């Protein structure tokens, strides 16, 4: 019989994974080009954050990648909407 993860176990597991972001240095941040959004099949363009190690992150509307997602921050300077 397989063990069912509790909500706390799931949260803890994803929190561990999120630690991969700790210490990364941002090299570049820009909005996706129209061509990049089109490659994803998206109608909106979101921000892309590139790190010095060559990796990047792109906020998505949902975990299925149905469209670009916005970013909310601790103040107005850290809010990045999607562009249509």
Supply the range of the domain harboring residue 64.
25-84
Residue 7 in any domain: the answer is: no
Place of tokens 């921000």: 47
pLDDT at 54: 97
Residue 29 in any domain: the answer is: yes
The two structure tokens encoding residue 75:
């103040």
**Does pLDDT of 21 surpass 70?**
yes
Residue 40 in any domain: the answer is: yes
The pTM score is: 0.86
Question: Quick check: 41 and 66 in contact, CB under 8 A?
Answer: no
Residue 6 in any domain: the answer is: no
Question: Which pLDDT band holds residue 3 (cuts at 50, 70, 90)?
Answer: low
- The C-alpha R_g of the chain, in whole angstroms, comes to 16
Please say whether the dihedral angle defined by the alpha carbons of residues 48, 33, 64 and 78, taken in this order, is positive or negative: positive
> In the chain, how many domains are there?
1
Which of left, alpha, beta for 23 (phi over 0: left; psi -120 to 50: alpha)?
left
């Amino acid at each position: 019989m397989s063990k069912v993860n509790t909500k706390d176990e799931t949260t803890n597991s994803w929190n561990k994974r999120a630690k991969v972001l700790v210490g990364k240095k941002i090299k570049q941040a820009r909005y996706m080009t129209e061509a990049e959004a089109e490659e994803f099949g998206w109608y909106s363009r979101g921000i892309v954050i590139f790190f010095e190690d060559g990796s990047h992150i792109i906020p998505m509307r949902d975990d299925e990648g149905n469209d670009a997602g916005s970013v909310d921050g601790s103040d107005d300077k850290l809010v990045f909407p999607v562009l249509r």
